[in-house]
Amino acid sequence: MNQSTKTNSTKKESTENDNSQANARTISSILTAPELAEIDHEISHAPTRSAVAIDALKIVQKHHGWVSDESLSGLADYLDMSTAELDGIATFYSLIYRKPVGEKVISLCNSVTCWIKGYAQLEKHISRQLGVGLGETTTDNRYTFLPAPCLGACDRAPVMMVGEETHLDLTPEKINQILEIKGGQQG
Amino acid sequence: MISKLPLTQNINAARDPVNLEAYEANHGYQAARKAVLEMSPDDCLQVVKDSGLRGRGGAGFPTGMKWSFVPMNTDSQGNNVSDGHKYLICNADEMEPGTFKDRLLMECDPHQLIEGMILSAWTIQADVAYIFIRHEYHFASKLLQDAIDACYAKGYLGKDIFGSDFNLELYVHSSAGRYICGEETALISSLEGKRANPRAKPPFPQISGLWGRPTIVNNVETLCNITHIIRNGAQWYKTLGIGQDHGTKLFGVSGRVKNPGCWELPMGTPIRELIEQHAGGMQDGYKLRGFLPGGASTDFLVEEHLDLAMDYDVIGKAGSRLGTGTMIILDDKTCPVGMTKNLVEFFAQESCGFCTPCRDGLPWSAQVLDDIESGNGIPADLNTLQNQVRFIGAIGNTIVL
Ligand SMILES: Cc1cc2nc3c(=O)[nH]c(=O)nc-3n(C[C@H](O)[C@H](O)[C@H](O)COP(=O)(O)O)c2cc1C
Ligand code: FES
């Protein structure tokens, strides 16, 4: 356990000598009590703290929408890992967001069957309606638009997810309804 | 009357998913109870070996043989003695483009999978099991977790299950993306909280897997089959197939057919029956140009292959693989180069980046295909593609038409 970094980073904020208490306070200013409870639950049935790295990143993301530098280093401390090691894991996995995203992520499947069934047209449609390209977030922060690998519903292609909802048999009209695009532009 | 289509016998798309009560009303958990209380792990292994079941994750490896490599520590009386954890992992990553069969099994009948896992864990004497499920399958994850909770409450999971002295903890682990996680050694790395880098074999996971302990990774559908094999026996199971391989399998069709979908059919069913009868044939105005028989990493087959039986070795001999059994149709109005480029782009993006031929070769191949598609190809491009295929090996086969 890297006790020295923990002590250094918490000293300024604490007048107490008890490092573990000070550390707990710093962590709780970065990660909320419900987050910590969920992470602790994962740790309770894992052989090491770092084993829950991916679960913990997902928990943080569930609560904040993404994983900020601050969350990442707080979490790394909490899991007895270096920040670099945890960032290496976070950036490997495509569904851990290291940049802020909008309230909901639109994941449009770009894999083979959806491609055959008109992915390119739908991508253009969404871009035009929302005024964003793939990888971008709308100015009102409602949506971030991302491509997704096959979503496992190819018999109902084209497919997208908006947040946790899966939408099937997409057409431009259906997309307008789902995204609540009022009086959407044609085409 | 025992169903000839056991995997989907409880499944009815118009109904809610099967809950514990309904599952038990149709013989559910009888096999698990019987196995744990009355059958030895060896007995169970023998039944699975005799059934001839081959893994449904894509490679078709015989399940009984795979399990037989797990060390069984027995004392001089033949009783099992534990020297630490053994793990069973259900591979529910299902990220191979064009594949949508495991989702159906999990979303419609979660207890069938859990019972299969109890039976499999008993056979290899695993005391901890995981369902490694892709993140996007939120509904299936929640359903499985509810089903698992219901099992714990009834003593079907946890300590001393079914009143025996066998313990089994079962956890759902939701992944964080990346296709490579579906490869079993990469999956193990990921479950340990690391980057999903594949590991060199040997040692095989059966000897040294999760946390260096004996581990079996099986596909969702494979584990669902175990439920019925132990319930009804190997002889019964063998009567289900109509070709070389035994049992039934979920087969699917996507693309421009009239009725895309997923059906349970006997192993050995001709491809033509799947595509023309169940999927209703091509949509009006489209002709069949070719198809990938079992997901994005299997080689194209064409019309002359339609009468082949859907058996692992038959499709293998034709130069492709049965893979996941979910077929993707290439129609005559879709550009084959464009489709191949889409497949290669997927693999380029999802490469774990560990080995050069895949990390660098796939983006290069995608670029070459892009040139060809846009009319800027040169004859030497074909050589380039062929060389790339040679370097990459199995996965690379997709890119030569
Ligand atoms: C790149 C890659 C991805 C894979 N993805 C999956 C997958 O999503 N699901 C799966 O069951 N098997 C997948 N496999 C196969 C697994 O490595 C493993 O063979 C399988 O889970 C074994 O199960 P089975 O013996 O029951 O078929 C993949 C293999 C490779 C090489
Ligand atoms: S290809 Fe889009 S859901 Fe499978």
Where are the domains positioned within chain B?
Answer: 6-238, 248-331, 336-399
The amino acid present at A145, given as its one-letter code, is F
The CATH code of the domain that includes A172 is 3.40.30.10
Residues near ligand 2 (Cβ within 6 A): A 109, 111-114, 150-151, 153-154, 157, 159; B 97-98
Contact B397, B299 (CB under 8 A): yes
* Same domain? A70 vs A150: no
* Same domain? A73 vs A125: no
- Considering only the beta carbons, identify the residue of A58, A112, A157 that sits closest to B342: A112
Helix (H, G, I), strand (E, B) or coil at A16: coil
Strands A104-109 and A160-162, sheet pairing: antiparallel
Q: What pLDDT score does B350 carry? A: 86
Q: What pLDDT score does A55 carry? A: 97
* Same domain? A110 vs A182: yes
Contact B106, B250 (CB under 8 A): no
User: Which of A147-161, B267-281, B358-372 bottoms out in mean pLDDT, i.e. has the lowest?
Assistant: B358-372
Per-residue tokens: B10? 């409880």
Ligand (nearest to CA of B55): 1
* Same domain? A10 vs A86: yes
Give me the residue label for tokens 């099967």.
Answer: B18
Output the CATH code of domain B248-331.
3.10.20.600
Ligand (nearest to CA of B394): 1
In a domain, residue A97? The reply is no
- ipTM of this complex > 0.90? yes
Residue A112 at interface with chain B, using a CB cutoff of 8 Å: yes
In a domain, residue A120? The reply is yes
Selected for mutation to probe chain A from B93, B103, B135, B136 (highest A CB count within 10 Å) is B136
The boundaries of the domain holding residue A178 are 104-186
* Same domain? A79 vs A140: no
- CB-CB neighbors (< 8 A) of A113 in chain B: 97-98, 254-255, 328
- CB-CB neighbors (< 8 A) of B338 in chain A: 115
B125 Ramachandran zone, left/alpha/beta (phi>0; psi -120 to 50): left
**Entry pTM:** 0.93
Give the rounded distance of the alpha carbon of B25 from its chain centre: 27
* Same domain? A60 vs A109: no
Count CB pairs under 8 A between chains A and B.
124
Minimal C-alpha gap between B341 and chain A (Å): 9
Per-residue tokens: B396? 């690379």
Residues B148-158: pLDDT tens digits? 999 999 999 99
User: Which of A141-150, B158-167, B369-378 bottoms out in mean pLDDT, i.e. has the lowest?
Assistant: B369-378
Position A175 pLDDT exceeds 70: yes
In the DSSP assignment, the letter for residue B183 is S
Position A155 pLDDT exceeds 90: yes
Give the rounded distance of the alpha carbon of B159 from its chain centre: 29
The CATH code of the domain that includes A19 is 1.10.10
Position A7 pLDDT exceeds 80: no
Query: A160-176 in b/e burial notation, b at 16+ Cβ within 10 A?
Result: bbbeeebbeebebeebb
Answer with the one of A66, A92, A118 that is the final residue of a domain: A92
What does the pLDDT average to over A24-53? 88
Atom of ligand 1 lying closest to residue B134 CA = 8
Q: B124 vs B373, which has greater pLDDT?
A: B124
- CB-CB neighbors (< 8 A) of B98 in chain A: 111-113, 150, 154
User: Which of A170-174, B207-211, B299-303, B361-365 bottoms out in mean pLDDT, i.e. has the lowest?
Assistant: B361-365
CA-to-CA separations, A90 to A54, A66, A72, B267, B310, in angstroms, rounded: 7, 11, 9, 41, 40
Atom of ligand 2 lying closest to residue A109 CA = 2
Residues A90-139: pLDDT tens digits? 999 999 999 999 999 999 999 999 999 999 999 999 999 999 999 999 99
Residues B84-107: pLDDT tens digits? 899 999 999 999 999 999 999 999
Query: Does the structural domain B336-399 have CATH classification 1.20.1440.230?
Result: yes
Position A21 pLDDT exceeds 70: no
* Same domain? A88 vs A110: no
Long-range CB pairs of B272-278, under 8 A, 24+ apart, other chains included: B272/B306, B272/B307, B274/B310, B274/B327, B275/B306, B275/B327, B275/B329, B276/B306, B278/B251, B278/B253
What does the pLDDT average to over B307-331? 96
Contact B172, B133 (CB under 8 A): yes
Answer with the one of A92, A116, A149 that is the final residue of a domain: A92
* Same domain? A88 vs A7: yes
Query: Looking at domain B6-238, what is its CATH homologous superfamily?
Result: NADH-ubiquinone oxidoreductase 51kDa subunit (3.40.50.11540)
In the DSSP assignment, the letter for residue B19 is -
Burial class (CB in 10 A: 0-12, 13-18, 19+), B11: middle
Is the CB–ligand 1 distance for residue B217 below 6 Å? yes
Ligand (nearest to CA of B95): 1
In a domain, residue A173? The reply is yes
In a domain, residue A98? The reply is no
CA-to-CA separations, B50 to B2, B66, B67, B248, B310, in angstroms, rounded: 19, 13, 13, 15, 21
Asked if B137 and A152 come within 8 Å (Cβ–Cβ), the reply is: yes
As for how many domains chain A has, the answer is 2
Distance in angstroms (rounded) separating the CA atoms of residues B159 and B370: 57
Which pLDDT band, with edges at 50, 70 and 90, does B211 fall under?
very high
- CB-CB neighbors (< 8 A) of B261 in chain A: 155
Which pLDDT band, with edges at 50, 70 and 90, does B362 fall under?
confident
Answer with the one of A70, A92, A114 that is the final residue of a domain: A92
Distance in angstroms (rounded) separating the CA atoms of residues A165 and A94: 18
Q: Is the dihedral of CA B174, B176, B180, B184 positive or negative?
A: negative
Burial class (CB in 10 A: 0-12, 13-18, 19+), B40: middle
Q: B81 vs B324, which has greater pLDDT?
A: B324
In a domain, residue A111? The reply is yes
